[in-house]
Copies of this chain bind each other. A is one copy, B any other.
Amino acid sequence: MIKEITIQTKKRNEIIDVTKHVEEAARNIENGIITAYVPHTTAGITINENADPTVKEDMLRKLSELIPEKDDYKHAEGNSDSHLKATLTGNSTTIIVKNGKPLLGTWQGIMFCEYDGPRTRKLIIHVKK
């Protein structure tokens, strides 16, 4: 089963919790594997803390300090930083499904990472029994 989710981002750099979409997809199977796939080159997906919002702020701030928007880049679109951040984050993640639920740790949430927003983005969820 393949499901496509639309995500509207609001900032240039933003982390958005998409766990609920994966939970909905997991309900269709007892056990298996979900692949959450980002079909973009300036956004990524990760699994990280979903409780304290300052974690996301710290992560985005430190990442932008390491890979600044303005630098000695050749690419004319002004988003070379976004491409590198996307690769370092990764554009897909694998989640184990057990008894119809994603097998996430206590503090884990599935996070869509926007690095060149605001944009209308897609997330593809593939469910495999």
Seen from chain A, the residues whose Cβ lies within 8 Å of a Cβ on chain B are 2, 31-33, 35, 37-41, 46-49, 52, 54-55, 57-59, 61-63, 66-67, 71-77, 80-81, 83-84, 86-96, 98, 103-108, 122, 124, 126, 128
Contact = CB atoms under 8 A, between A and B. Distances in A.
A46 B71 CA distance: 22
Candidate in A2, A32, A39, A71 with the most chain B CB atoms within 10 angstroms:
A39
Contacts of A91: 46-48, 93, 108
Nearest to A109: B41
Contacts of A77: 52
B80 A71 contact: no
Contact of A89 (B88, B104, B124): B88
Candidate in A46, A59, A124 with the most chain B CB atoms within 10 angstroms:
A59
